[in-house]
Structures are given as C-alpha cells and as structure tokens.
C-alpha cells in the first residue's frame, strides 16, 4: 500500500503573524516573543507580503549602532518565496535548499498577484513531519 504524500496544507501553520513594513525591530521582537513564533510576514503598502523577518534577521542587526531604529523593511529577507498549499513536503524542502531559506509563505491564489499568505511553513515543520515518519 502506497503512503499518502504529505502536502504543505497538512503541516503548515495557518496562523501567520503579519506586520507592517514600518514596524521597528524592537516591536517585531516583542511580537515574536509574545506570539511564540520564529518568523513573521511583512506587509507592504500595496497589500501584499513583501518579505519575512526571522529571528536570524533580528540577531544579525542586534547590537549594531542604532539597531533599535531599524524597521522591518530594512532587516527583512526581501524576496518572498511563495508556494501553493498543494506542494509536497519534498518539493518545499527542495525550494528551501536551493534558495537557502528556512521559511516559505503559503499563498492561496495565483502566485503572481500581490496577496497575503494563508499559511507559513518552516524547515522545522518539515523536519518534525519527517521525524514522525509520515512523509
């Protein structure tokens, strides 16, 4: 009997924290700590996701001169790798490896339109699923 292939929609977090691009690094850190997440989506003025701020992005700037004045737009990973909920875990892992990223925003519509994510998946989510032996 063939195992059912796991899709991103099966493992993604469907609660995506979305912050404005103008939010300060200090405020971003507070939100990440309060919401217990390691990454947040950054919304641009044209109503689409324009980047991701991860814990690593915060750490990369922490302690630099005037670091607390930096905004989400200044510290985010600007290129958002958008992916569909029907993507398999193997395909998602391949994209992460190729692009050297640890998080993917899951989009519900045509990937060419500006839009907000319906989910987020991290490398940790995929590894956890592999560890459960269900992929």
d(CA 85, CA 39): 19
- 23 to each of 42, 55, 73, 132, how far by Cα in Å? 9, 15, 8, 37
CB-CB neighbours of 28 under 10 Å: 23
Specify which of 17-26, 42-51, 98-107, 116-125 reaches the highest per-range mean pLDDT. Answer: 17-26
- Does the CA dihedral 83-94-90-130 come out positive or negative? negative
Q: pTM of the full predicted structure?
A: 0.83
- Identify whether the C-beta of residue 36 lies closer than 8 Å to the C-beta of residue 55: no
Instruction: Report pLDDT for 127.
Output: 92
H-run or E-run covering 29: helix 25-35
Task: Return the SS3 of 112.
Answer: coil
Q: What is the pLDDT of residues 32-70, one digit of tens each?
A: 999 999 999 999 877 788 899 999 999 999 999 999 899
Q: What is the pLDDT of residues 56-115, one digit of tens each?
A: 999 999 999 999 899 999 999 886 778 999 999 999 999 999 998 899 999 887 656 667
Question: What CATH homologous superfamily does 8-131 map to?
Answer: CBS-domain (3.10.580.10)
């Amino acid at each position: 009997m063939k195992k059912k292939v796991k899709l991103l929609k099966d493992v993604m977090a469907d609660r995506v924290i979305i912050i404005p691009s103008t939010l300060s690094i200090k405020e971003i850190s507070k939100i990440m700590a309060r919401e217990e997440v390691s990454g947040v989506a950054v919304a641009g003025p044209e109503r689409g996701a324009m980047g991701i701020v991860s814990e690593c992005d915060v750490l990369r700037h922490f302690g630099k001169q005037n670091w607390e004045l930096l905004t989400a737009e200044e510290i985010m990973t600007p290129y958002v790798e958008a992916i569909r909920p029907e993507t398999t875990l193997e395909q998602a892992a391949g994209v992460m490896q190729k692009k050297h990223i640890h998080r993917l925003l899951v989009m519900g519509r045509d990937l060419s339109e500006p839009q907000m994510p319906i989910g987020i998946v991290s490398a940790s989510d995929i590894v956890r699923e592999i560890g459960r032996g269900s992929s």
